[in-house]
């Protein structure tokens, strides 16, 4: 049995949904179909999920939401009409949106989550109806009824162990299951969404639960490339990549597959196949436990912006027992997670995703570090990107860091931070984000384009 997930670009229009129907029809082992909300039909288009987030924000600000509601319903109406799916599905979508908007007893986060999830939930209902209309016996499956139980706030949204047992029953379904991605329900019945791009996580959870032969992830590119094709021209295609290489790359910018989607399939050693809805016969990229050797030590290079650094200095910091713990405790109490902590003898930098910060929180944290830890200096700096080189071949390849640093220096950029992962499958360079793309291209040129004396 296969689990096949179709992302927003694959379900963005009637034309695209026709393609996924052909893909499902072509292989009877595609029995569990995970779908996202309609995504972009062009670069200028807006994803349904983004419209729903705007709708939630307008409702919370007591603004008139009719225009936005009609814009969302019109998207589904156009798809339903072009697929000749009856009017009743559009009416049910309209009623569903109204019901979610009236659910004012929820907290702000719960209200937003409930509206965000409407995109996938209604698209799954529409696609299941369409499949049945064209002779593909299918049923919409609500995550609550299926048992996709997730953790409670403030934990990050993750499937609980018990969810996998209940979800394993899906493998016995006679019909094709059309399952909305992106959300689950807590034990107490509250809806929670995964992070953005989270339909990949749903597919991974279901693939692990039913012990799928493969988890197919259909998107709008032929494969995973060794660099983001929107930044580097015609990057090299990757046939095979390991789970941990993909985790490092997707965490830091390879948005083609969600980094949190790797753990469920890794635990069950289920291969993932990244394929193109618009070219389904292309082999795509396989994410596996072990792969055949690559030509070079580096498998992929990626960059991710939106990072800040918290710099703290105190003389003899390295001698003060518990200083690091107390510093990280302050961040934990402020609900701030961190990425890397490069440090010296008397100072430490903590790399943090900027979206967690605001002026008032930063001032409070700096004050606490100075007062409670008696630090000499503490301040935040913003506008950084992390450039990540990843490859299973790195750990037995000398001089990589030097080659990368030399390539970065050719761009005139300053290296603000270097961090070698203890797994030795990645090395991270912190740079100012305005230099991100030029550095990415220079590193790609160094490790993939040139015939190197080193190779």
Residues that bind ligand ADP (CB under 6 A): 7-10, 39, 197, 219-221, 224-225, 228-230, 254-256
Of 421, 407, 406, whose CA–CA distance to 342 is shortest? 421
Which of ligand PHD, ligand ADP, none does residue 221 bind to, with CB < 5 to 8 Å depending on kind? ligand ADP
- Give me the least distance between CB of 79 and ligand ADP, in Å please: 15
d(CA 455, CA 450): 10
**Strands in 18-98 per DSSP E:** 30-35
- Give me the least distance between CB of 232 and ligand PHD, in Å please: 21
Which of ligand ADP, ligand PHD, none does residue 49 bind to, with CB < 5 to 8 Å depending on kind? ligand PHD
Which of ligand ADP, ligand PHD, none does residue 246 bind to, with CB < 5 to 8 Å depending on kind? none
**Helices 118-133, 87-102: crossing angle, 10 deg rounding:** 160
Which of ligand PHD, ligand ADP, none does residue 391 bind to, with CB < 5 to 8 Å depending on kind? none
Do the annotations mark residue 86 as ligand-binding?
Answer: no
Cβ pair 404, 389 in contact under 8 A: yes
Distances (CA, A) of 186 to 134, 202, 384: 35, 15, 35
Query: Residues with Cβ < 8 Å from 281, sequence gap 6 or more?
Result: none
Q: Quick count: other Cβ atoms within 10 Å of Cβ 258?
A: 22
Interacting residue ranges for ligand PHD, rule: CB under 6 A: 7-8, 36-37, 39, 47, 49, 119, 181-182, 196-200
Do the annotations mark residue 220 as ligand-binding?
Answer: yes
SS3 283: coil
- Give me the least distance between CB of 36 and ligand ADP, in Å please: 6
Of 3, 27, 404, whose CA–CA distance to 204 is shortest? 3
- Give me the least distance between CB of 203 and ligand PHD, in Å please: 9
Do the annotations mark residue 299 as ligand-binding?
Answer: no
Cβ pair 273, 412 in contact under 8 A: no
Do the annotations mark residue 49 as ligand-binding?
Answer: yes
Closer by beta carbon to ligand PHD, 147 or else 203: 203
Tokens of 45: 């288009």
d(CA 353, CA 248): 16
- Give me the least distance between CB of 17 and ligand PHD, in Å please: 14
Closer by beta carbon to ligand ADP, 12 or else 176: 12
Which of ligand PHD, ligand ADP, none does residue 250 bind to, with CB < 5 to 8 Å depending on kind? none
Closer by beta carbon to ligand ADP, 120 or else 362: 120
Q: Which residue is nearest to ligand ADP (CB)?
A: 7
Cβ pair 346, 317 in contact under 8 A: yes
Which of ligand ADP, ligand PHD, none does residue 284 bind to, with CB < 5 to 8 Å depending on kind? none
**Known binding-site residue numbers for ATP:** 5-8, 219-220
**Known binding-site residue numbers for substrate:** 49, 120
């Amino acid at each position: 049995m296969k689990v096949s997930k179709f992302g927003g670009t694959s379900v963005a229009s009637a034309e695209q949904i026709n393609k996924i129907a052909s893909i499902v029809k072509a292989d009877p082992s595609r029995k569990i179909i995970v779908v996202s909300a309609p995504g972009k039909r062009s670069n200028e288009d807006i994803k349904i999920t983004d419209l729903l987030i705007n709708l939630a924000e307008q409702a919370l600000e007591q603004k008139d939401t009719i225009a936005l509601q009609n814009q969302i319903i019109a998207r589904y109406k156009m798809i339903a009409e072009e697929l000749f799916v009856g009017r009743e599905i559009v009416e049910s979508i309209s009623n569903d949106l109204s019901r979610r908007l009236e659910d004012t007893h929820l907290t702000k986060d719960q209200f937003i989550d409930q509206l965000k999830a409407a995109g996938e939930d209604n698209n799954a209902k529409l696609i299941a109806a369409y499949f049945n209309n064209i002779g593909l016996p299918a049923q919409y499956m609500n995550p609550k009824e299926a048992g996709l139980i997730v953790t409670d706030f403030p934990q990050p949204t993750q499937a609980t162990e018990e969810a996998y047992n209940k979800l394993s029953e899906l493998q016995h379904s006679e019909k094709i299951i059309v399952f909305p991605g992106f959300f689950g329900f807590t034990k107490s019945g509250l809806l929670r969404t995964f992070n953005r791009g989270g339909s990949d996580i749903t597919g991974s959870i279901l693939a692990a639960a039913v012990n799928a032969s493969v988890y197919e992830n259909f998107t709008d590119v032929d494969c995973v490339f060794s660099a983001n094709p929107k930044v580097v021209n015609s990057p090299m295609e990757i046939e095979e990549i390991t789970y941990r290489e993909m985790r490092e790359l997707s965490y830091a910018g390879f948005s083609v597959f969600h980094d949190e989607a790797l753990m469920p399939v890794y635990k069950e050693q289920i291969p993932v196949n990244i394929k193109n809805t618009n070219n389904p016969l292309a082999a795509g990229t396989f994410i596996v436990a072990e792969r055949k050797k690559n030509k070079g030590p580096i498998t992929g290079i990626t960059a991710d912006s939106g990072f800040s650094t918290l710099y703290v200095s105190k003389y003899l910091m390295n001698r003060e027992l518990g200083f690091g713990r107390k510093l990280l405790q302050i961040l934990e109490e402020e609900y701030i997670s961190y990425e890397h902590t490069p440090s010296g003898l008397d100072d430490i930098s903590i790399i943090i995703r900027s979206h967690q910060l605001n002026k008032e929180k930063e001032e409070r944290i700096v004050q606490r570090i100075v007062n409670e830890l008696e630090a000499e200096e503490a301040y935040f700096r913003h506008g950084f990107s992390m450039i990540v080189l990843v490859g299973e071949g790195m750990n037995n390849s000398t001089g990589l860091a030097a080659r990368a640093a030399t390539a970065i220096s050719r761009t005139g950029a300053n290296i603000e931070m270097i961090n070698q992962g203890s797994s030795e499958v990645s090395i991270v360079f912190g740079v100012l984000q305005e230099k991100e793309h030029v550095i990415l291209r220079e590193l790609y040129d160094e490790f993939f384009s040139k015939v190197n004396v080193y190779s």
